[in-house]
Amino acid sequence: MSIVESLPRAPRFALDVPVRVRRIGATVWESGQAVNISRSGLLVGVRGSFRCNDTIEAIVELSQATASVGDVRVRGRVARVAQASSLTQLGTTIDEYRLQRADPSDASHATDATVTGD
């Protein structure tokens, strides 16, 4: 058994919120829906075309589910691509993420924070 096989998978948390995804450097965002998230990855359904190993950024719009919660901006790499009905399902790594305030003018929320992978 390899070391990778012996490590437990990160727990996934189901999400049903809008997400926007684009390749790093692109100007156009593809709209989609988040399916689940873990400390190491994000699963989304989008209408755009992506390939394995594309480096991407995504905005998980948690603020659409709960007004007092901010969004999460993610940078990572497409690890898996699959067709799911009319959407393309992307499994991505999370190499870096940034928590964004729900309302930048509201000082009661924690400040933005950027976290990089382990």
Q: Which of 4-8, 35-39, 49-53 has the lowest mean pLDDT?
A: 4-8
4 domain-assigned: no
Q: What is the mean pLDDT of residues 53-65?
A: 94
Q: What is the pLDDT of residue 106?
A: 47
Considering the entire predicted model, what is its pTM? 0.78
Distance of CA 50 to the CA centre of its chain: 14
Over the chain, what is the mean pLDDT?
A: 84
* CATH at 35: 2.40.10.220
Q: What is the pLDDT of residue 48?
A: 87
Burial class of 5 by CB neighbour count within 10 A (0 to 12, 13 to 18, 19+): exposed
80 domain-assigned: yes
Among 69, 76, 89, CA closest to 24: 76
Cα distance between residue 31 and residue 59, in whole Å: 10
Q: Residue 87: which domain range?
A: 10-101
Q: How many independent structural domains does the chain possess?
A: 1
29 domain-assigned: yes
Please give the structure tokens belonging to residue 113: 């924070």
Q: What is the pLDDT of residue 72?
A: 93
Amino acid letter, 48: G
